[in-house]
A = this chain, B = another copy of it.
Amino acid sequence: MTEEQLKEFLANLPEKPGKVTTPDEFKVGVIGPNHGHIFGMCRALKDCGAGISVVYDDDPKLVEAFRKQFPEARIASSEDEVLHDPSLKMIASSTIASERGPLGVRVMRAGKDYFVDKTPFTTQAQIDEARLVWKETGRRYFCYFSERVHTEAGVFAGYLIDAGVIGRVLQVIGMGPHRVGNPASRPAWFWNKEQYGGILCDIGSHQIEQYLFYSGAKDAKVVSSRVANYNHKGTGLEDFGDAVLTGDNGTTNYFRVDWFTPDGLSNWGDGRTVILGTEGHIELRKFVDLANGAGGMVLWADKDGEHKLNVSGLVGYPFFGQIIRDSLDGTETAMTQEYIFKAAELCVACEDRATVIE
Binding site for B on A (CB under 8 A): 166, 168, 170-171, 173, 175, 177, 223-224, 226, 228, 230-231, 240, 242, 244, 246, 250, 252, 254, 256, 258, 260-266, 270, 274, 276-281, 283, 288, 290-292, 299-308, 355, 357-358
Q: Please determine whether A305 and B264 come into contact, CB atoms closer than 8 angstroms.
A: yes
Min distance, Cβ A242 to any Cβ of chain B, angstroms: 6
Q: Please determine whether B175 and A274 come into contact, CB atoms closer than 8 angstroms.
A: yes
Q: Please determine whether B246 and A357 come into contact, CB atoms closer than 8 angstroms.
A: yes
A258 and chain B: residue at smallest CB distance = B276
Number of this chain's copies in the assembly equals 2
Q: Please determine whether A306 and B291 come into contact, CB atoms closer than 8 angstroms.
A: yes
Min distance, Cβ A204 to any Cβ of chain B, angstroms: 14
Complex Cα spacing A355 to B246, Å: 10
A1 and chain B: residue at smallest CB distance = B264
Q: Would you give 24 A-B contacts (Cβ < 8 Å), ordered by A?
A: A171-B256, A173-B256, A223-B224, A223-B226, A224-B224, A226-B244, A226-B246, A226-B252, A228-B252, A240-B252, A242-B244, A246-B357, A260-B276, A260-B279, A263-B279, A263-B303, A263-B304, A264-B280, A264-B305, A265-B301, A270-B281, A270-B301, A288-B306, A291-B307
Complex Cα spacing A277 to B259, Å: 11
Q: Please determine whether A177 and B281 come into contact, CB atoms closer than 8 angstroms.
A: yes
A171 and chain B: residue at smallest CB distance = B256
A305 and chain B: residue at smallest CB distance = B264
Chain B contacts for A261, CB-based, 8 A: 301
A223-B355, A250-B358, A264-B280 given; A301·B308 CB < 8 A: no
